[in-house]
A and B are shown apart, each in its own frame.
Chain A
Amino acid sequence: KAGVTQTPRYLIKTRGQQVTLSCSPISGHRSVSWYQQTPGQGLQFLFEYFSETQRNKGNFPGRFSGRQFSNSRSEMNVSTLELGDSALYLCASSQGLAGGQETQYFGPGTRLLVL
């Protein structure tokens, strides 16, 4: 099966702009989780979507949002970008089975630089 794909791979934006990142999960996987990776904070959970519904959310401001489509593809949006939003954004997919302790499979990430 093809792995998790993310587009674009690199983005440069300026403060105040907004950005949309896309994630295509492994075929058959219905859960998509998003993470932010920075040198200072490490890997932090943003949110998780399953069957087009947000099931879980991390401690990020409302500027960070997401959605999931009927084909399980997911997008995340960051509005009013700040310099501190510069990071590698990772998405991960899993089957989304009840109990929630599944292996997550990661994409290559989108590297966002905010100037």
Chain B
Amino acid sequence: AQRVTQPEKLLSVFKGAPVELKCNYSYSGSPELFWYVQYSRQRLQLLLRHISRESIKGFTADLNKGETSFHLKKPFAQEEDSAMYYCALSSSSNTGKLIFGQGTTLQVKP
């Protein structure tokens, strides 16, 4: 079965500290992995996807097929990074369907 796991419900760090939001997935084929972010009172929006290999707002994520992980990292957290982060998976065999993890709330303290 296709599944996405985000083991941490809440991650609390101080401003300037490194951040790593964990995401593990189970899928036997070639998935496309995404990180979506939801800031307070805003809609869910794409942060990055692995195929684009971009760095958005200082965040990066590397797909590790051996460990089936797609962890989100940022070297220096900012207060404005406080939000809910969702890891999601899509597959060519499941058109139009994103499978989401349970989400991790990132709290960046001043």
The chain A residues found within 8 Å of chain B, CB to CB, are: 3, 31, 33, 35, 42-45, 48-50, 55-56, 58, 90, 92, 94, 96, 99-109
- Please pick, from A50, A55, A102, A106, the residue contacting B43 in the complex, using a CB distance under 8 A: A106
Taking the closest CB of chain B, its distance from the CB of A24, in whole angstroms, is: 14
CB distance from A61 to the nearest CB of B (A): 18
Known interface pairs A101-B91, A107-B43, A109-B43. Does A42 touch B96 (Cβ–Cβ under 8 Å)?
Answer: no
A56-B96 in contact (CB<8A): yes
B92 located at the interface, meaning its Cβ lies under 8 Å from any Cβ of chain A in the complex: yes
**Is B69 on the interface with A (CB-CB < 8 A)?**
no
| Bound complex: CA A55 to CA B99 (Å) | 16
Q: Which residues from chain B contact A94 at a C-beta distance below 8 Å?
A: 96
B85 within 8 A of A: no
Binds A, one of B17-25, B44-52, B55-63, B74-82: B44-52
Q: Which 3 pairs between the two chains have the least Cβ-Cβ distance?
A: A48-B96, A100-B95, A101-B32
Contact, CB under 8 Å: A50 / B96: yes
A-B contact count (CB 8 A): 67
What are 27 A-B residue pairs whose CB atoms fall within 8 Å in the complex? A35-B98, A35-B100, A42-B102, A42-B103, A43-B98, A45-B97, A45-B98, A50-B95, A55-B95, A55-B96, A56-B94, A56-B97, A92-B98, A94-B96, A99-B92, A100-B93, A100-B94, A100-B96, A101-B32, A101-B51, A101-B92, A102-B90, A103-B46, A103-B49, A106-B44, A108-B43, A109-B43
Contact of B70 with A by CB under 8 A: no
Interchain CB contact under 8 A, B43 and A96: no
Q: How far is the CA of A90 from the CA of B32 in the complex (A)?
A: 21
Whole-angstrom distance between the Cβ of A7 and the nearest chain B Cβ:
14
Chain A residues near B103 (CB, 8 Å)? 42-43
| Chain A residue contacts of B102, Cβ below 8 A | 42
Asked if B100 contacts A103 (CB within 8 A), the reply is no
Q: B24 to chain A: closest CB distance in Å?
A: 15
For the complex, what is the distance from the CA of A58 to the CA of B98, rounded to whole Å?
11
Chain B residues within an 8 Å CB radius of A43: 86, 98, 100, 103
